[in-house]
Amino acid sequence: MQGILPAAEFDENGPVIGKSYEFGLRGQEEDGLWRLSLSEAKSLAAWQDLEVGARVEARVSGVNTGGLELRIGPIAAFMPASHVALERVEDLSGELGKKLVCEVLEVDRERQRVLLSRRAVLSAERDAARAESLGSLGVGQVITGKVTRVEPFGAFVALSPGVEGLLHVSNISHQRVENAGDLLQPGQELQVKILSIAEGGRRIGLGRKQLETDPWQETAARLSPGTVLQAKVVRLLDFGAFCALAPGVEGLLHISQLKAGSDRVRHPREVLSAGQELTVRVVSLEPASKRIALSRLDERGAVLGSADSVETGEIDRVLRESDAGPRGTNLGNLFKKALGGGDAG
């Protein structure tokens, strides 16, 4: 048996007389010569080596709407667009001509179909980088990271290649933050403290306010039950109003402490509004649990800052003076004097 094939199928050195080669049979000519193919023989050998999970180097030979056309040597392959990168690539034309290390997803020898994935290789490399980086991270560590994405509930911060943590909105600042986007933006670098590492590093909790002085420490030192101070209403709820006493420190003004007398307040909005400044009195203070109970009323039940409160304050002053004065002083006359009703006798 003899066969014939184009010389162009040999490499640049050409055919070597006397050397053995593996050829593929492509059919027989009328004169009895077999049509041979050297490339088909190489293709068959490569097919035998391909298996799911193997890594191969493939060259991008074409682009279509569904993905990339590739060649693994003489073998045609295809890569869906969703497997080109970790993130979806909108314009695949930039991949044309590139050589990519890919993972074999599917081999169908009957249909001569090979599916490849570049994303699987990149994902494995990212996981390896994450594992290496996690070995150097620990709870309590302070590290500089870069904000990659901001959501209302918090910001994702890249700590190292393949490793991200979540800076929750409640841990951004001691002051109340409703939306993380009000203070943070993508690309911003900031120092954070690692609060927790869970699920093998897939969930990392971060904090920023933990690197700042806690305003509650200073507040607890200067406040005590009975202290009267100015506050600003920041939130109105059914059961009361939260008032800012200092940056990052709020107290609760319960609905029962809003108005003197027998008139019941059904909702704080009836007597207060957000942003309003008012005088309050500290009823109780719990620094450990960061709770402060407030009242808008003085000890006698009058609204602080009102005319009634001024009168009761004058009564207290007169009573203190009476303790040092002659015995037998008429308390009723003192009250009349305090309230401007005449001279005390």
Q: With bands split at pLDDT 50, 70 and 90, how would you rate the model's confidence at 69?
A: very high
Q: With bands split at pLDDT 50, 70 and 90, how would you rate the model's confidence at 161?
A: confident
Taking residues 104-111, what's their average pLDDT? 88
Specify the pLDDT at position 186.
93
Specify the pLDDT at position 22.
81
Q: Residue 140 above 70 pLDDT? A: yes
CA 329 to each of CA 7, 105, 324: distance values in angstroms, whole numbers, following the listed order? 132, 101, 11
CB neighbour burial string for 305-330, b if at least 16 within 10 angstroms, e if fewer: eeebbebbeebeebeeebeeeeeeee
Specify the pLDDT at position 112.
80
Specify the pLDDT at position 81.
93
What's the topology of domain 215-295? OB fold (Dihydrolipoamide Acetyltransferase, E2P) (2.40.50)
Q: Are 280 and 296 in contact (CB under 8 A)?
A: yes
Of 72 and 1, which is predicted with more confidence?
72
Specify the pLDDT at position 334.
47
pLDDT in tens, 90-100: 888 899 999 99
Q: Is there a shared CATH topology between the 137-211 domain and the 215-295 domain? A: yes
Report the distance separating Cα 335 and Cα 3, nearest Å: 130
Taking residues 159-163, what's their average pLDDT? 82
Of 50 and 326, which is predicted with more confidence?
50
pLDDT in tens, 3-49: 888 877 777 777 888 888 888 777 777 677 888 877 666 666 567 77
Asked if the 51-123 domain carries CATH number 3.50.50.60, the reply is no
Q: Is the dihedral of CA 278, 282, 283, 287 positive or negative?
A: positive
Q: Residue 325 above 80 pLDDT? A: no
Q: Residue 166 above 90 pLDDT? A: yes
Pairing state between β 291-295 and 249-254? parallel
- Amino acid code (one letter) for 59: R
Report the distance separating Cα 20 and Cα 266, nearest Å: 100
Report the distance separating Cα 74 and Cα 46, nearest Å: 9
Residue 280 φ/ψ region, left for φ over 0, alpha for ψ in the -120 to 50 degree band, beta for the rest: beta
Burial class (CB in 10 A: 0-12, 13-18, 19+), 290: middle
What does the domain layout of the chain look like in residue ranges?
3-46, 51-123, 137-211, 215-295, 307-338
Taking residues 281-293, what's their average pLDDT? 86
CA 230 to each of CA 155, 198, 301, 304: distance values in angstroms, whole numbers, following the listed order? 34, 43, 18, 11
The matching CATH number, chosen from 2.40.50.140, 3.40.50.1820, 3.90.1150.10, 3.20.20.140, for 137-211 is 2.40.50.140
Structure-token pair, residue 302: 């009058």
